[in-house]
Structure 1
C-alpha cells in the first residue's frame, strides 16, 4: 500500500510540474514535455552525434592542406626571387653596354634600359640608392672601405653594384664602400 501511495504522489508531482511550465508561458518547455522528437533530440540521438571526432580529423586535414599550400607558396617565392635576380643581372649588363657605345646605339639601349626599369617599378622591383645612408647589413654588402672625407664614418660612400628589393624584400645586396675614419682625421 505504501508503494502505491508513493507512485501516486510521484504522478501528481509530475502533473504539477507540467502545469507550472504551462503557466510560466515557456512554450518551448511545454512542447518539449509532450513531443517525442524533442525528447529524442535532447538525448543525443541526432545524426551528428560523433561531430567531436570528425571535427578533430577535419582540423588535422585542414592543417595538412594549409601546410602544403604554404610550402607551394614558399617555392613560388623562391622561384620568383631567382628569376628577378637573373633579370637584374641582365639590367646590369645593359647598363655596362650602354656606357661603352656611342651615337644612336646609345639612345636605343637607353630606351631599352628605361623600359626595363619601368617594368621593374611596375612589378615592385626597385633599385636601392644607398649613397649617404647608414650601413645596413640586411641591404648592403661591404666590399671596400674609403676614407671619410666630409662624410660620417659608417655611412655608404661608394656603390660598386646596385642592390634591388622586390616588394620591400632584399633580393640582391648592394655592394658598397663604407666611409671610415683614418688616423690622420683623428
Structure 2
C-alpha cells in the first residue's frame, strides 16, 4: 500500500511539473507573439511613414518641375508681351483712317501687324499664358494696377471701368498686372440693390 501511495504521489508530482512547464511554455509563447506583433506594428508604421514621405517627395518634385517650367516660360513670355505692345503701338501710330483710305499698302500693313499680334498671343496661350479680362469686374490688387479713378455714381465703387494696358497670367501667377481705371463715388460693392428689387432703405417706415 505504501508503495502504491508513493507511486501515485510521484505521478501527481510529475503531472504538476508537466503542467507548470506547459503553462510556462504557453506564457513564453504569448510573450513572443506579443513581441512579434509589436515589431510588426513598428515595421508597418515605418513603411507607411516612408510611403508618405516618398509621395510627398514625388508631389514636391512635380511641383518644383512645374514651377521651373512656368518660370522659364514666364521670362520668355514677358519679352514677347513687350513685342506685342510694340505691335499695338505701331497700329496706334498709323492714321486713324488707314482702313478707310483704300490704300493697299496701308491695308496690307495693318493686316500684317494685326495677324502677327494674334499669332503671337495664340502661341503664348498654348504655353499657359492667359489674358486677363478685368473690364467690369471688381478691382483686385493681385491682378490689377490702378492708374486713375473715374467718378461714376451709377456703378459700384472699385469697379474696373477702363483697361489702359492688358494684363496676363500664367497658371496662378501674375505675369503682368492689368493697368486699369477704377470707378469711385458709387455704392460700395455688395451693398448696391439688385436689379428689379426695391431698395429697402428708400421704403416709407
Q: Is the 8 A contact 2:73 2:127 kept in 1?
A: no
The aligned counterpart of 1:4 is 14
- 1:100-129 C-alpha deviation (Å, 9 max, x unpaired): 243321111111112123223334322223
Q: Is the 8 A contact 1:151 1:157 kept in 2?
A: no
Pick aligned residue for 2:177 from 162, 173, 180? 173
Q: Distance in 2 between matches of 1:168 and 1:9?
A: 75
Q: Distance in 1 between matches of 2:52 and 2:22?
A: 53
The aligned counterpart of 1:156 is 160
Deviation above 6 Å: which 4+ runs of structure 1? 10-13
TM-score (norm. length: structure 1): 0.60
Pick aligned residue for 2:120 from 91, 116, 122? 116
Q: Distance in 2 between matches of 1:90 and 1:129?
A: 20
TM-score (norm. length: structure 2): 0.56
Q: Deviation of residue 53 (structure 1)? A: 9.0
* Unmatched runs of 5 consecutive residues or more in structure 1: 14-40
Q: Distance in 2 between matches of 1:132 and 1:156?
A: 5
* Unmatched runs of 5 consecutive residues or more in structure 2: 1-9, 24-32, 95-105, 187-205
Pick aligned residue for 2:92 from 95, 99, 103? 99
CA RMSD of aligned residues (A): 4.0
The aligned counterpart of 1:125 is 129
**Distance change >3 Å, CA 168–CA 42, structure 1 → 2:** closer
- Bigger shift: 74-83 or 52-61? 52-61
Q: Distance in 1 between matches of 2:136 and 2:184?
A: 13
Q: How many residues align?
A: 153
Q: Deviation of residue 152 (structure 1)? A: 3.8
The aligned counterpart of 1:34 is none
Pick aligned residue for 2:54 from 59, 62, 67? 62
Pick aligned residue for 2:139 from 135, 141, 144? 135
Q: Distance in 1 between matches of 2:173 and 2:74?
A: 10
